[in-house]
Structure 1
Amino acid sequence: MNPIIVIAIIIIWLYILSVTKRAKLHAWSFMWGSLGLFVIMMMTVQPLLTMPLARCVAAMAGIVGDITGAFTAYFKYGIIFIHTGASSMTLLIDFECSGIIEIMAFLSLLIFFNVYNWSEKLMIGIGGFCYIMLCNVLRIVMICLAVHFLGMNAYYVFHTFIGRIFFYVLSVYLYFYVFTKPQIVKMKVGNFSYGKNNS
């Protein structure tokens, strides 16, 4: 994308964000800040990190492949070669399978979530990143093992439905633990205020 357009979007985002903060519109500040940061990261960071993340996912999944002999990972290219008996199948870890969308969405929400201070956000961000990566790797491993043992016809079902459901169920658990549970706890003890900033 044209750098001038990106800069213009960032300036508009920052201006509206500052207006919502000055007006103490905390809910709007959270929504606008999170959404804007996600869009900006998708325009700027995503093209740079997709391939490194894909290589990471392929390399981590390849450990299971080496142990089971079911598939082989060529992590330099972000490719997994699945053995299916007489035939074979190549799985490319692309933009969708890299997990970068889920990681950026989580980090965008976390950065503007005022329940935590910045040191807590840093630790939770690192932990959440590792958790999402691991869940994504498990999803890829599940798909590869399904294709290896059940044949190439299993790819569509496991990639489109079962694998995604598995991944998103684990993601919901992360979101509940990080975003919902702390609010419930603070509301119970009577000191929760969404506008409170501990940073």
Structure 2
Amino acid sequence: TWGNVSAYDPELKVVAIKPSGVEYDVMQVEDIVILDLDGKIIEGEYKPSSDTPTHLEIYKNDPRIRGIVHTHSRWATLFAQAKIDIPALGTTHADYFFGAIPCTRCLTTQEIEGEYERETGKVILETYHERKIDPLTIPAVLVASHGPFTWGISPEEAVHNAVVLEEIAMMAWHDMILDPNLQPMQEALLHKHYLRKHGPGAYYGQK
């Protein structure tokens, strides 16, 4: 099924996540699995997504995050497989992400052969900690040799970020073909476009 989606309710402290291996076009609302942050199933007849431990690690680390999406979308996965960040090259990127989309390090053999899905969540958190990135300013990551994860303050925002990520990955790949020596966009322009939409003095849109 090439990915999974989850939502977190901070009041009830429960996660709703896609069942493992169930195709989206046949899945019903009642098929969604409800579980707590320790992974204990509260409601649902199916097994939760095999990537559930990854989602739980992220939710437990940052309660601001209320939705997570994991895909294997073509262009973003291309960068993940190449093990390189998606650089911030233009204002389409800057409207949603405050800098390059980071790619994690590769998991070690021990991590892969151990609690693989949990270790995937931990390497995502490690990447943001080591690079000193606020997860809400760059709500997307590439897991090396795997694929993208996006998140947001709502499930809807997480899905939207996944769509935008795929678009900017496609544009970045073509930009880098046109000019292999292309440099990231100006910092001033990155700041202007991101902060006018997301900063404390944001003025984009109707408010």
- Provide the TM-score with structure 2 as the length reference: 0.27
- Provide the TM-score with structure 1 as the length reference: 0.28
| Bigger radius of gyration | 1
More strand by share: 2
More helix by share: 1
